[in-house]
Structures are given as C-alpha cells and as structure tokens.
Amino acid sequence: MLGLLYRLSDALRRKTLGDDHGRMGEDLAHRYLTRHGCRVVARNYRPRSGHGEIDLVVWEGATLVFVEVKSRASEDFGTPDSAVDQEKQEHLRRAARDYVRRTESTWEKTRFDIVSVVLVQPPRIVWLRDAFR
C-alpha cells in the first residue's frame, strides 16, 4: 500500500515540477536517505556569505553528513555524480564549515556524500558515502 502511495506521489511530483530535475532528485534522495536510517536536519542550507549550498544535511548515527544530490534525466552524458568537480567540492566544504560552526558540531565527525538520481522509471538512486574529503 505504501509503495502505491509513493508511486502516486512521484507521478504527481513529475506533473507539477515538470523539468525541475533537481527538485525531484532532492525529494527522492530525501526519502531514500530517510528510509535508510538517516535523519534529515536541513535542506538547501546556504551560508550567509552566499558561497555554496548543501542540498541535504543528515545525521547517520553519530556522523553529520553533508549530501550533494545530482539528478539527470538519463546517463547519456555520464553519471550524475561526475558533475561534482573540485570547485563544487570546495563550495560544499565552505558551506559545511559554516554549518558546523553555527551548530557547534564536531568537524571530525562529518562526511561528504553524493546521491546520484537518474530519473527513469523507476528512478535509479546511488548513494556514494564518503565521496570526497
């Protein structure tokens, strides 16, 4: 029954969001991580400086995880995670340092993950833990 509700929700999301692959991918990644035991504490976190944005901030056990979600309609031009280059990683690190400072968390207990979402039927989701340091 729950699977049917998720499929209906996905169909409605596709209809309403149209070509907003990023938003659809973030919604699917949020649900995926929650199902796998993570607790989402922030979405689209942007530091006051405006440099960088973190798609999802989650707790997996005692580890604070900063998640970059990459979505594509297909893999014709490579996997979604291949779009996270050095410059993007630096923006994420900068935003993560700001988040850790503001929440008084411990930097040593953080990690950077990537969730790749290919928006086919059914969507393919790959969670790359500790994708970069």
- Count of helices and strands (H, E) across the chain: 3, 5
Residue found by looking up tokens 């035991």 in the block: 37
- CATH number, domain containing residue 29: 3.40.1350.10
For the chain, how many structural domains are there in total? 1
Confidence at residue 6, expressed as pLDDT on a 0 to 100 scale? 61
Q: Which residues contact 67 (CB under 8 A, 6 or more apart)?
A: 29, 33, 54, 55, 56, 57, 58, 112, 113, 114, 115
| pTM assigned to the model | 0.84
Residue-level pLDDT at 18 = 55
Assigned domain for 100 exists: yes
Query: What are phi and psi for residue 41, nearest 5 degrees?
Result: -115, -15
Residue 35's pLDDT is 96
Does residue 125 belong to any structural domain of this protein? yes
> Closest Cα partner for 31 from 107, 122, 108, 132?
122
The residue range of the domain holding 120 is 20-132
Residue 13 lies in a domain: no
Q: What is the CA radius of gyration of the chain?
A: 15
Q: Which two three-digit tokens encode residue 22?
A: 């990023």
Task: Say how far residue 67 (Cα) sits from the centre of its chain.
Answer: 4
Task: List the chain residues with pLDDT less than 50.
Answer: 17
